[in-house]
Amino acid sequence: MAKKKKTDFDVESILQDFADLPDPRSHINQRHLLGDVIVISIMAVIAGAEGPKAIGVWAKSNEDWLADRLQHPNGIPSHDTIGRVLKTIKPSAFQVCFERWIKHLSGNRDKGKLDVIAIDGKPLRRSHDKAADLGP
């Protein structure tokens, strides 16, 4: 893996915090590492991808960046593979790992206070804008 730049995303923290996520796939069908699929999916969703096809497109367009950070022994998974893997994961198990990762991010402060921000996109869509009388 390449040396992490100061402004680079900490892929290792995702891999670490999702390491105990149960992989429900048969050992026969594990061409792609679960951690790689999880990292790709989380990164793509943060970048605005909605659904497996968009995640696959994001992964292909960022293949060089991902190659420096993930193992992906069989290349980038297809959107079909991404969709199948995500469908098999138990939501409650994913939630535990995701919450651990968010706590890891919010507790990993170098200097000063870092704010945790919502990544659900509502501010981008202006669905919650008191000045425009939108939202609660």
**Residue span of the structural domain in which 106 resides:** 11-132
Query: Residue 6: inside a domain, yes or no?
Result: no
Query: Residue 4: inside a domain, yes or no?
Result: no
Query: Residue 2: inside a domain, yes or no?
Result: no
Which parts of 20-121 fold into alpha helices (H)?
34-46, 52-61, 63-67, 79-88, 91-107
| Residue-level pLDDT at 11 | 84
| Residue-level pLDDT at 20 | 92
Listed as ranges, residues in the chain with pLDDT below 70 are 1-9, 108-136
| Residue-level pLDDT at 54 | 95
| Residue-level pLDDT at 39 | 92
Residues of the chain with pLDDT > 70, as a percent, come to 72
Query: Residue 108: inside a domain, yes or no?
Result: yes
Amino acid occupying residue 98: F
Query: Residue 106: inside a domain, yes or no?
Result: yes
- Angle (nearest 5°) at CA 10 between 110 and 13: 95
| Residue-level pLDDT at 87 | 93
| Residue-level pLDDT at 108 | 55
**Cα–Cα distance for residue pair 102/44, rounded to 1 Å:** 16
**Cα–Cα distance for residue pair 103/124, rounded to 1 Å:** 24
Query: Residue 61: inside a domain, yes or no?
Result: yes
The answer to whether the CB of 37 falls within 8 A of the CB of 85 is yes
Query: Residue 121: inside a domain, yes or no?
Result: yes
Query: Residue 46: inside a domain, yes or no?
Result: yes
Question: What is the number of structural domains in the chain?
Answer: 1
